[in-house]
Chains A and B, each alone.
Chain A
Amino acid sequence: GIQVEQSPPDLILQEGANSTLRCNFSDSVNNLQWFHQNPWGQLINLFYIPSGTKQNGRLSATTVATERYSLLYISSSQTTDSGVYFCAVVLSNFGNEKLTFGTGTRLTIIP
């Protein structure tokens, strides 16, 4: 099956710092989503980004499907950004709707 690897696995930053999280996938995908899992376990949708670049406030994401990677940028980090960030992909088979999750990046923002 498809492999989805995220890096780095852990990241500790001072409040106000910027960060880049990476998601590599091993096969062609139809779509890609980024999520933030907060400390209570809730998955929050950040981006639905099969290709191109999107921005939402301090967060932005870029997916280069032909090169099989996506990047999530977080600027001016706040303590509320702490948690685990997952990317998840859908394989390029029509009718296949299953999300395969990446390994995750655990982000800790220190005040």
Chain B
Amino acid sequence: GAVVSQHPSWVICKSGTSVKIECRSLDFQATTMFWYRQFPKQSLMLMATSNEGSKATYEQGVEKDKFLINHASLTLSTLTVTSAHPEDSSFYICSARVPLLAGVYNEQFFGPGTRLTVL
């Protein structure tokens, strides 16, 4: 299957600082990537859809000025948590979709996740 990497795997930061998380598709080009957040013992919630070369689409309730997404190339999307606070502590997971073929939905493959702790 397709391989997606994330960096860093965990980060601890002080309240008020910004944190950048990278998501890379290693063996395919991804025009679309997705960012999810998962709180302990809960399911994954989609935060935003990241499209290469255009603005991200955010889900309802997700602050776009707080969670900045940049998809500058076909293999890299970044999520920056600006002015992080303890309530932003969570497990952030990205996914990449194998390129769309003739309008048929293709599988999403997930990165290993980044555990963010804000003190």
On A, residues with C-beta under 8 Å from B are: 30-31, 33, 35, 40-43, 45, 48, 86, 88, 90, 94, 97-104
Query: Could you give 5 example pairs across A and B, Cβ below 8 Å?
Result: A43-B93, A45-B110, A90-B105, A97-B100, A100-B46
A-B contact count (CB 8 A): 48
Our pick among B43, B100, B103, B105 for the contact of A104 (Cβ within 8 Å) is: B43
Complex contacts, B93 vs chain A, CB 8 Å: 41, 43
Shortest A26–chain B CB gap in Å is: 15
The residue in chain B whose Cβ has the minimal distance to the Cβ of A98 is B46
Complex contacts, A101 vs chain B, CB 8 Å: 43-45
Q: Is the CB of B109 within 8 A of A86?
A: no
**Complex Cα–Cα for A99 and B93 (A):** 13
Please classify how large the interface on chain B is, using the bins under 10, 10 to 19, 20 to 34, 35 or more.
20 to 34
**Complex Cα–Cα for A99 and B48 (A):** 11
**Complex Cα–Cα for A45 and B2 (A):** 10
Asked if B97 CB lies within 8 Å of chain A CBs, one says yes
Q: Is the CB of B44 within 8 A of A42?
A: no
**Complex Cα–Cα for A86 and B110 (A):** 13
Shortest A59–chain B CB gap in Å is: 15
**Complex Cα–Cα for A99 and B109 (A):** 11
Q: Is the CB of B91 within 8 A of A99?
A: no
Q: Is the CB of A103 within 8 A of B110?
A: no
Shortest A96–chain B CB gap in Å is: 9
